[in-house]
């Protein structure tokens, strides 16, 4: 391989790491993606000069098709649809890694290439991980997009998954050690794709952030393995960096929900019914938007707690408008974000940023919790399980032990909610029944609009 190509890959790997480093601070984040993008462009361009390649016209067609589809869909999607788009693009990366493995194994099966045992093992493992990440991410995409509404759970499911996984490993071992003929290779990839589907189907919507993050890390790992097979250091480095960074991110998320990764993957959360539930004391007390507006306008400190309901109602712009009205009246406004509010870590931050909320008004759980007792009003919009005090008090609750925002400690709480339904975990929220809680029923965007109107009329 030419020195120029090697040097370019080296530079690309360097740019990726610098880019990621810059992306981990809000001040330099915007520059970070551009650095990484330059690295990608460089690596792609020099690859055309790779020795011994053919099929160039078709390759250009493939790049064109993939790029245009992704460009158009990525530009068009609304900010609220970001999580599923990340799942989609991530799945494509996993599929590409799987395809590389398939081509290499097909060459070996056809007797046109000979790989040693270590390389074969990594090719097979990368192919397995990439394929699972591909089909699993597609299911995650379909679930978040609302194409699949139900979680599929049936008796003996985990036993079946385990059996399929064992079969995959068996066939994979045979390919590495025995004669890698066409049929086992085809069987191997087919089974891996099915496994990804079956693995993801039972997982509930509330757990999707963790799952997408996990598949992101897995795709990175698959890319690193295939990079070893193709003898490409840029792929090994970029893939491994993403693999480990993604694993850490997945752990942070699972920890924020106070659940282990195994629990997320194998328990079918969001579908289990909560047993032994405490009876709820008190009643739901509705409030009118005009009264709620007065309450907030004369407060000294208001903490706004957004949840997935805000994303569904596309209410982030109205909420910021409301916050600006309050700030004009010298009310101190802060936004409190639970780590798993929404469908992705930081989902709420992205939506608030879209609406123009400066990031220094946004606080996470540990920073904001001590401030709730001094807040005159906590405004909860479309959040449920992440503010349910039962997570502190009832050990039999499925969300017991999950860190929550201490909204119940604020002097008054206003909850904007579409109806009296339950959250993802399917449990009653005791906060809604508390003496100092008032319910403002309606669509988040519409209610925020009415609050602004009410405030303007004061």
Partner 1 sequence: MIEGFIALYIFMLAAFTGYEVISRVPVILHTPLMSGSNFVHGIVLVGAMVAMGHAETTLEQVVGFIGVVLGAGNAVGGYVVTERMLEMFKSSKGGN
Interactions with partner 1, residue window 134-173 (CB under 8 A): 134
- Residue 210 binds partner 1 (CB under 8 A): no
- Residue 220 binds partner 1 (CB under 8 A): yes
- Residue 272 binds partner 1 (CB under 8 A): no
- Residue 183 binds partner 1 (CB under 8 A): no
Here's the x/- map for partner 1, 222-241, by CB under 8 A: it reads as: -xx-xxx-xxxxxxxxxxxx
Q: Which stretch binds partner 1 (CB under 8 A): 53-61, 152-160, 272-280, 440-448?
A: 53-61
- Residue 431 binds partner 1 (CB under 8 A): no
- Integer-rounded Cα radius of gyration of the chain: 25
Measured from the CB atom, is 56 or 154 closer to partner 1?
56
Mark whether 406 is an active-site residue. Answer: no
Measured from the CB atom, is 246 or 423 closer to partner 1?
246
Residues 7-26, interacting with partner 1 (CB under 8 A): 9, 12, 16-17, 19-21, 23-26
Question: Which residue in the list 207, 291, 330, 385 is annotated as catalytic?
Answer: 385
Residue from 11, 103, 261, 312 in contact with partner 1 (CB under 8 A): 103
Residue from 80, 135, 161, 216 in contact with partner 1 (CB under 8 A): 216
Measured from the CB atom, is 203 or 333 closer to partner 1?
333
Q: Which stretch binds partner 1 (CB under 8 A): 212-220, 258-266, 275-283, 295-303?
A: 212-220
Question: Closest distance between partner 1 and the C-beta of residue 148, in Å?
Answer: 21
Residues 337-356, interacting with partner 1 (CB under 8 A): 337, 339, 344-347, 349-350, 353-354, 356
Q: Which stretch binds partner 1 (CB under 8 A): 65-73, 291-299, 374-382, 443-451?
A: 65-73
Please name which of 416, 419, 223 lies closest in space to residue 310, comparing C-alpha atoms. Answer: 416
Under 8 Å between Cβ of 266 and 158: yes
Question: Closest distance between partner 1 and the C-beta of residue 131, in Å?
Answer: 12
Residue from 4, 7, 69, 420 in contact with partner 1 (CB under 8 A): 69
* CA 352 to each of CA 30, 34, 231, 359, 450: distance values in angstroms, whole numbers, following the listed order: 17, 23, 43, 8, 19
Here's the x/- map for partner 1, 305-324, by CB under 8 A: it reads as: --------------------
Q: Which stretch binds partner 1 (CB under 8 A): 40-48, 148-156, 306-314, 447-455?
A: 40-48
Measured from the CB atom, is 70 or 153 closer to partner 1?
70
Question: Closest distance between partner 1 and the C-beta of residue 437, in Å?
Answer: 26
Measured from the CB atom, is 72 or 163 closer to partner 1?
72
Spatial separation of the C-alpha atoms in residues 163 and 368, rounded to whole Å = 46
Number of residues that bind partner 1 (CB under 8 A): 119
- Residue 244 binds partner 1 (CB under 8 A): yes
Gap between the terminal Cα atoms of the chain:
74
Residue from 104, 207, 394, 406 in contact with partner 1 (CB under 8 A): 104
- Residue 378 binds partner 1 (CB under 8 A): no
Supply the residues annotated as catalytic.
Answer: 385
């Amino acid at each position: 391989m030419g020195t120029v190509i090697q040097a370019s890959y080296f530079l690309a790997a360097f740019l990726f790491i610098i880019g990621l480093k810059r992306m981990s601070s809000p001040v330099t984040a915007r520059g970070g993606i551009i650095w990484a993008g330059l690295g990608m462009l460089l690596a792609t361009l020099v690859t055309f000069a790779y020795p011994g390649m053919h099929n160039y016209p078709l390759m250009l067609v493939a790049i064109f098709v993939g790029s245009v589809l992704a460009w158009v869909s990525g530009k068009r999607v609304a900010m609220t649809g970001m999580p599923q788009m990340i799942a989609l693009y991530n799945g494509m990366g996993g599929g590409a890694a799987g395809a590389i493995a398939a081509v290499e194994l097909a060459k070996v099966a056809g007797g046109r290439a000979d790989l040693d045992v270590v390389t074969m093992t990594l090719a097979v493992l990368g192919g397995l991980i990439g394929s699972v990440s591909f089909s699993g991410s597609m299911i995650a995409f379909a679930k978040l997009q609302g194409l699949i509404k139900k979680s599929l759970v049936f008796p003996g499911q985990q036993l079946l998954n385990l059996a399929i996984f064992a079969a995959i490993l068996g066939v994979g071992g045979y390919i590495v050690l025995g004669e890698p003929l066409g049929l086992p290779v085809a069987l191997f990839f087919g089974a891996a794709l099915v496994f990804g589907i079956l693995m993801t189907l039972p997982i509930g919507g509330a757990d999707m952030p963790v799952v997408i993050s996990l598949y992101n890390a897995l795709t990175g790992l698959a890319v690193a393995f295939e990079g070893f097979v193709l003898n490409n250091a840029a792929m090994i480095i970029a893939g491994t960096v993403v693999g480990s960074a993604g694993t850490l991110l997945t752990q942070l998320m699972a920890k924020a929900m106070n659940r282990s990764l195994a629990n997320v993957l194998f328990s079918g959360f969001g579908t289990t019914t909560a047993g032994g539930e405490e009876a709820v004391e008190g009643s739901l007390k509705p409030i009118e938007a005009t009264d709620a507006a007065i309450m907030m306008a004369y407060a000294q400190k208001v903490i706004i707690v957004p949840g997935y309901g805000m994303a569904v109602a596309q209410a982030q712009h109205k909420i910021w408008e409301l916050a600006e009205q309050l700030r004009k009246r010298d009310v101190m406004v802060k936004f409190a974000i639970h780590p798993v509010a929404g469908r992705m870590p930081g989902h709420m931050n992205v939506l608030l940023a879209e609406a123009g909320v400066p990031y220094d008004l946004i606080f996470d759980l540990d920073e904001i919790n001590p401030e709730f007792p001094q807040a005159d009003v906590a405004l909860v919009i479309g959040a449920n399980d992440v503010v349910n005090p039962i997570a502190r008090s009832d050990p039999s609750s499925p969300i017991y032990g999950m860190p929550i925002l201490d909204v119940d400690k604020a002097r008054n709480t206003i909850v904007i909610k579409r109806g009296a339904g339950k959250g993802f975990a399917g449990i009653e929220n005791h906060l809604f029944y508390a003496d100092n809680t008032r319910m403002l029923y309606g669509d988040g965007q519409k209610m925020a609009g009415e609050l602004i109107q009410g405030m303007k009329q004061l």
